Amino acid sequence: MTFKGTKYTSAFIGTLESKKTLEDIYLLLAENAPDLESIYAEIISSSSEQTCIFLICRKSEYNKLDEALRKIGFARPSSPSKKAPSQLKTAVEEKINILKREIEKAQEEIKSYSGERNGFRFIIDYYNMRSEKYGVISRLLQSNRTFILSGYIPKRDVQKLQDELNYKFDIAIECEDPSPNEDVPILLSNNGFASPVEGVLESFSLPGRGEVDPTNVMSFCYYFLFGLMLSDAAYGFIMTLICGIILAKYKKIEDSMRKAIKMFFFCGISTMFWGVLFGSYFGDAVDVISSTFFGTKLTIPPLWFEPIKDPMRMLMFSLTVGVIHLFTGLAMQFYQLWKAKKYKDAIYDVVFWYVFLTSLIVQLLSMEMFVNIAGLKFTLSAKTGSIAGTVALISAVAITLTAGRESRNPFKRLLKGLYGLYGVTGYLSDVLSYSRLLALGLATGVIASVINKMGSMAGGGVVGFIVFVIIFVIGHTINIGINALGAYVHTNRLQFVEFFGKFYEGGGRKFTPFAPNTKYFNIREEINNG
């Protein structure tokens, strides 16, 4: 492949894209270099992806042929060798065979250590801990006989730490609160109901210094929204049962995994709750099974209503949930500002918006056209709507005058104020985002009903029963998997974008104390000071 030609000729060895015949090659060369006088071409091999060719021409025509070949996509070998390709292939195959034998030998040696598996795992954990230990030691300030260790510890553990260290060592301990501007790590502390969603919060960002931990409020909203999206009592029961069995049977699973399973346990309970309210048990499985196999239609009525039969009602409920969720976010912002003693900011940025948005909602409820579209059974009086409109106008002016208060230039302050008032469109889009509660709830029920209908199409005999069971099990397994994933993703989205967008910035770093970080063994120290 390194052959360049003879004394009077130049050779070209390489490939062209796709499969080509000699006629195609000569035609392409004639089009791109019509004044070439003598060319010899030969196809060495071809496939659907490429054609390997050999060409030769007079030395005086080298440049013309080289330019023509570049135009038609000619490529020389990337690693040409003095040996023939057949010889290279043989050498490579021999090397492959040698490596295969070495792999087999290595595999046999690895298998011979199968009885030492736990020993290897222990060694991995042991040296990982030692590596972390000496990494910490390297950062200590120390002399020949003393060292200084500084760091953070939860305030509730200070006395316990002091007692334990004083019992074992001659040591000097100083504890002090961090300074206001110090970048302290964040340690979340929540009850058993809220702590399962801490992983969701961490995937977004931990609270920054001075921010409130939203986990408690977020946990209730999270379970509520997840169950509303999945909203099938049977699906919720399956989730709750599986998660409950795992939590009861496996006591030593990692804390993060236990929290995740516990989160889905509560989500399953919420799903059961909404499924009972909406009368969904594997969709309409009770109706289909009773009418197909028992000749009589049995229905479990919903405690509230069926979203499939009354989607507008479900849509209005979803939007109402959205308004409450967003107002809860504003309340969290008010709490943060008030706690930080930013009283004016709390009034300007929260109270004015509360008044403005509430007034707009009241005004909408006084409009007959909106009430008819929403299917509501009540309409507020025109006088109430007029009062709400006046209050909305006053609060809009207040927002305009205060939203740009950080600017000293009156013109800029006014422009920033108008831009701040324009944020009402963001509230509108945020509320509309909660229509996904309707979409995902209907998707779960409709797909479940279609699966039941498909299963019942074979009739009520023995064959029909077998077909129904197969379609029922496979279909509902896929449905619960897809829609549970959808509920998880969209619940996170409503928390991260709509809810957190009203008050939460995050940016904190996690409190990660020096501790045994092992992969295979769980290490717990029991201390007996007696």
Give the residue extent of every domain in the chain: 9-80, 88-155
519 pLDDT above the threshold of 80: yes
417 pLDDT above the threshold of 60: yes
Helix, strand, coil percentages in the chain from 3-state DSSP, rounded to 5: 60, 5, 30
Give the pLDDT band (50/70/90) at residue 253. Answer: confident
Listed residue (486, 434, 432, 484) closest to 221, CA to CA: 434
Residue 526 has a pLDDT of 67
Helix crossing, 255-278 with 436-456: angle to 10°?
A: 70
Percent above pLDDT 70 for the chain: 99
Residue 54, SS3 per DSSP = strand
Query: Contact at 8 Å (CB) between 302 and 278?
Result: yes
Residue 139 has a pLDDT of 86
Give me the sign of the Cα torsion angle 107, 113, 117, 122.
negative
Give the pLDDT band (50/70/90) at residue 461. Answer: confident
Return d(Cα 281, Cα 481) in angstroms, integer. 16
Query: Contact at 8 Å (CB) between 210 and 276?
Result: no
Listed residue (454, 450, 445, 455) closest to 480, CA to CA: 445
pTM for the whole structure: 0.77
b/e map 370-409, b = 16+ CB within 10 Å:
ebeebeeeeebeeeebebbeebbeebbebbbbbbbeeeee
Residue 436 has a pLDDT of 95
User: Rounded mean pLDDT of 364-392?
Assistant: 91
Residue 170 has a pLDDT of 87
**Fold for domain 9-80?**
Alpha-Beta Plaits (3.30.70)
User: Which residue type, as a one-letter code, is found at position 325?
Assistant: H
Q: Length of the chain, please?
A: 530
Residue 336 has a pLDDT of 94
Return d(Cα 26, Cα 55) in angstroms, integer. 11
Return d(Cα 331, Cα 3) in angstroms, integer. 81
DSSP state of 415: H
Residue 529 has a pLDDT of 54
For 239, the token pair is: 């989730």
248 pLDDT above the threshold of 90: yes
Give the pLDDT band (50/70/90) at residue 235. Answer: very high
Return d(Cα 475, Cα 469) in angstroms, integer. 10
